[in-house]
Amino acid sequence: MARVRNQDARRSQLVAAAIEVIADRGLGAVRAKDIAEVAGISPRLVAYYYPEIDDLIDEVYRSAVDRYYWQRLEAISKLDSPVDQLVNLIESGLPAGDGDMLSRALYEFSVNAGREPTHGALMTLLFEREVSLYVSVLESGLKTEDFVLSESVLAIAQNFVALEDAFGMYINGGNSSLDAGAAAALLRSYARSATGIDI
């Protein structure tokens, strides 16, 4: 592996290695030695950048928040139509496939949430942020009269995120009867019944 001189690049390399370790072995198996092995560096260098392994795990969580909240917020802010925004949210909330390591790592946080209250709090916060994305789009669609909602805005928004999470679990678990395309189609089906719009 090429030598990394920039500190930000080194930290990104370590976060990527931690994501891979968490995705493959679970949060309970995260050790500096394993991260170092995946990154192709010495464990001492991992400890230099992250003296506490929990700080590195927090960086993994922040990467997930960036992908599933901030990047999605930025994407929908560039779209004028609530319908287009809803389609974008549906397509961006699912794992990209079996090799989506960040998504797999994020599910390890969910699995561990029952044992570790801190992870439970983090997952609750991410859920609420993702729900807020759907709330804003659904409210916009009501104002423009694009949507005729079958339930309250909050109920529909929570259902969307819960369905994303459930489908993502099956995709990450290697369920051969459901891939990202099929899951997106099912989310669109729910969108049709919940909003009255044909997407």
pLDDT recorded at residue 156: 98
pLDDT recorded at residue 2: 44
Complete domains list, the chain, with CATH: 55-195 (1.10.357.10)
CA distances from 22 to 13, 14, 27, 137, 170 (A): 14, 12, 5, 33, 18
pLDDT recorded at residue 12: 92
Segment 104-140, tens digit of pLDDT: 898 888 887 778 888 788 889 999 999 999 999 999 9
Report the length, in residues, of the chain: 199
DSSP string, 137-179: HHHHHHHTT----SS-HHHHHHHHHHHHHHHHHHHHTT-TT--
User: Model's pTM, two decimal places?
Assistant: 0.88
pLDDT recorded at residue 40: 92
pLDDT recorded at residue 97: 74
Which positions of the chain have pLDDT values less than 50?
Answer: 1-2
- Residue 68 neighbours by CB distance under 10 Å: 23
pLDDT recorded at residue 15: 95
pLDDT recorded at residue 177: 86
